[in-house]
Amino acid sequence: MTHPLPQVALTTLQTMNAEEYAAQVKGELADAWLPHIYRERIRTLRTRSYNFAGLTSKARLEIQHTLLGVELKIGRKRLLCPDLATARYLAVFARAGCAEVAVPYDITRISQLADELESSWHRMFLIAEHNAKDQSETLKARIRRVLIGTVRAEILAAGAGTSVPEFRQSTKQRT
């Protein structure tokens, strides 16, 4: 006669499996992994930090076009953005629940980076869904939570940099 596993052991096994699935997704994305793009492509640029004060990760996220420009609406909070590309860029990090991120100072690069970040975000969940297609919805939800938590932790570890970008005072043109 076999004894059923206690509930605690079953939960631990499922959590471990969710973490294994998340590690598998991270491995499959490799250079397209969102925190990798952030560390290698964004943090190496001249950036300024952007703080999502009072952000809740469960808040509904929406990009709105108003008479005053583009706004990123997170729950009841509205953040004015200079353009659509910046709103898309910040929306990826707001979805992940990041409290503070680096924004490239060169606005011509934001659009391409926003495309890459959005693509990475969606591919992450598509790969997770594909890899866990035979698993329960509870485990799939746990995998999504682990992935988002991992992304948030790695972006936090990379840091957001300074609030004002560094300006080089040297204007000397001759040697």
Please state, in angstroms and rounded to a whole number, the distance separating the CA atoms of residues 151 and 147. 6
pLDDT in tens, 90-126: 999 999 988 899 999 888 999 999 999 999 999 999 9
Looking at the chain, the whole-number percentage of residues with pLDDT higher than 90 is 49
**pLDDT confidence of 10, banded at 50, 70, 90?**
very low
Q: Considering Cα of 130, then 131, then 136, then 141, what sign does the dihedral take?
A: negative
**Predicted pLDDT at 144:** 93
Got the DSSP string for 68-135? TEEEEEETTEEEEESSHHHHHHHHHHHHHT-SEEEEES-TTTHHHHHHHHHHHHHHHHHHHHHHTTTS
Q: Looking at per-residue confidence, does 15 or 85 come out higher? A: 85
Please state, in angstroms and rounded to a whole number, the distance separating the CA atoms of residues 10 and 15. 9
Does residue 169 surpass a pLDDT of 90? no
3-class secondary-structure state, position 10: helix
Its pTM stands at 0.80
Provide the residue type at 84 as one letter.
Answer: L
Q: Is the Cβ–Cβ distance between 145 and 24 less than 8 Å?
A: no
What is the mean pLDDT of the segment spanning 7-15? 43
Q: Angle, to 10 degrees, between the axis of helix 137-158 and the axis of helix 7-29? A: 60
Cβ neighbours of residue 109 closer than 8 Å, sequence gap 6 or more? 45
pLDDT in tens, 35-76: 999 999 999 988 988 888 777 667 788 999 988 889 999 888
Please state, in angstroms and rounded to a whole number, the distance separating the CA atoms of residues 15 and 8. 11
Segments making up each domain of the chain, as ranges: 7-158
